């Protein structure tokens, strides 16, 4: 056994394990016993938790991922390299990294055509989604080409936001946000707020947000959003709201060039379509139940509905946006918990308490 592995064999490997729907436990997890030539041995630093984790906990599944056996949660990690396999050249011991959790095969047709996020193999190796163990444990291994070194001026806390930021970078690339465009982001949770920040960094001239939660919109406003719209679910009408937004953003406004839907809620998807101008694009980032949408309106107005799946080579740009100062994710980190208190962190995230944006768990 390599020295780096030997050194941790008597260590604590506290992990947050989801056994089944509603059953979340802190327990010791087996320590890594081997390190492949292309892998790094990692010591966890911080890990973001998000709606996906809460859904897994409360429902026992998310999309096609079903909890069938106990597995470790956590797919938004930063870590420190404490060992490297014999063929690793991109990293060394002591490097701090952001970890891209899903590992594609790099052999199938999707991988070969450059769309590795669609690789069917990566669904089985998406760490933090069942059945693959995630990063809410102290020690684990990961393929080195899916670990990205954090520059000096990027903290491990910021590093834990890189996964979510990369998803958003991918979304903005998919819908081709560019200079001078008007963008509406539906939903001002962490992903929505990051969408607004990335759209701005990509050159969008105006970015607007909607949400049902006023405190989230207040934060978006403080961070420089050009306009925010509070949704009242009781009185909400998608067409009326689209009209309100169109007139608020300009007297003769034809609508926004791009809407990025981050809630997965049916009425919000409908709003996104109605508020987008003819010839525009709607990016579908939020995932909810299947829903009924005004498809003929989209078709007749040539509004493109664009699916967004995870990450495709977006970590480098996500890190660059942070390190260059183009984008500041620090204000989004509102709460941090030690892994020992991670069940509390999940309770907090689920409660929908005002002022909670991004919650990190640290080791
Ligand atoms: Zn997440
Ligand atoms: Zn593949």
User: Which residues hold their Cβ within 5 A of ligand 1, which is an ion?
Assistant: 50, 52
Query: What are the residue ranges spanned by the domains of the chain?
Result: 3-161+329-362, 167-307
Strand partners, 362: 46, 338
Backbone angles phi, psi at 139, to 5 degrees: -130, 135
Residue range 3-161+329-362, CATH number: 3.90.180.10
- Is residue 63 over pLDDT 90? no
Task: Please state the rounded mean pLDDT for residues 32-39.
Answer: 97
**Residue-wise pLDDT tens digits, 153-201:** 999 999 999 999 999 999 999 999 999 999 999 999 999 999 999 999 9
Phi first, then psi, for residue 77 (nearest 5°) are -100, 155
Mean pLDDT of 331-335: 96
φ, ψ at 327 (rounded to 5°): -150, 135
What pLDDT does 251 receive? 60
Residue 252 pLDDT grade (very low, low, confident, very high; cuts 50, 70, 90)? confident
- In the reported structure, the alpha carbon of residue 243 is separated from the centroid of ligand 2 by a whole-number distance in angstroms of 43
pLDDT for position 336: 98
- pLDDT higher than threshold 70 for residue 113: yes
Per cent of the chain over pLDDT 90 is: 95
Mean pLDDT calculated for residue range 202-209: 97
Tell me the ligand closest to 360's alpha carbon: 1
Ligand 2 center–CA 68 separation, angstroms: 24
Tokens 């590992």 sit on residue: 103
Equal CATH topology for 3-161+329-362 and 167-307: no
C-alpha 123 – ligand 1 centre gap (Å)? 15
Ligand 1 centroid to Cα of residue 50, in Å, is 5
Specify the CATH architecture of the domain 167-307.
3-Layer(aba) Sandwich (3.40)
Mean pLDDT of 281-295: 93
* pLDDT at position 1: 81
Instruction: Give me ligand 1 centre to Cα 228, in Å.
Output: 24
């Amino acid at each position: 056994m390599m020295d780096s592995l030997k050194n941790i064999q008597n260590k604590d490997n506290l992990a947050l394990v989801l056994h089944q729907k509603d059953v979340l436990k802190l327990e010791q997890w087996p320590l890594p016993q081997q390190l492949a030539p292309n892998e790094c041995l990692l010591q966890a630093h911080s890990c973001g938790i998000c709606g996906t984790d809460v859904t897994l906990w409360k429902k026992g599944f998310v999309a096609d991922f079903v909890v069938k056996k106990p597995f470790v949660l956590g797919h938004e990690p930063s870590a420190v390299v404490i060992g490297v396999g014999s063929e690793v050249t991109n990293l060394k011991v002591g490097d701090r990294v952001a970890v891209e959790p899903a590992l594609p095969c790099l052999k199938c047709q999707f991988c070969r055509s450059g769309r590795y996020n669609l690789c069917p193999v990566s669904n089985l190796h998406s760490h933090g989604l069942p059945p693959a163990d995630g990063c809410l444990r102290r020690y684990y291994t990961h393929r080195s080409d899916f670990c990205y070194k954090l520059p000096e001026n990027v903290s491990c806390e910021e590093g834990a936001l890189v996964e979510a930021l990369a998803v958003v970078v991918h979304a903005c690339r998919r819908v081709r946000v560019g200079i001078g465009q008007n963008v509406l982001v539906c939903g001002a949770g962490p992903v929505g707020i990051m969408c607004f920040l990335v759209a701005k960094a990509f050159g969008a001239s105006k970015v607007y947000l909607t949400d049902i939660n006023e405190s989230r919109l207040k934060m978006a406003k403080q961070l420089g959003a050009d306009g925010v719209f509070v949704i009242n679910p009781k009185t909400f009408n998608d067409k009326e709201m689209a009209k309100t937004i169109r007139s608020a953003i300009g007297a003769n406004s034809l609508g926004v060039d791009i809407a990025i839907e981050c809630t997965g809620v049916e009425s919000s998807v409908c709003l996104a379509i109605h508020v987008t101008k003819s010839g525009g694009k709607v990016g579908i980032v939020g995932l909810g139940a299947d829903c009924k949408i005004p498809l003929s309106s989209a078709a007749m107005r040539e509004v493109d509905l664009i699916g967004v799946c995870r990450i495709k080579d977006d970590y480098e740009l996500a890190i660059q946006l942070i390190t260059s100062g183009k984008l500041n994710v620090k204000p989004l980190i509102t709460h941090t918990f030690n892994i020992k208190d991670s069940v509390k962190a999940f309770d907090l995230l689920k409660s929908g308490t005002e002022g909670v944006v991004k919650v990190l768990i640290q080791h």
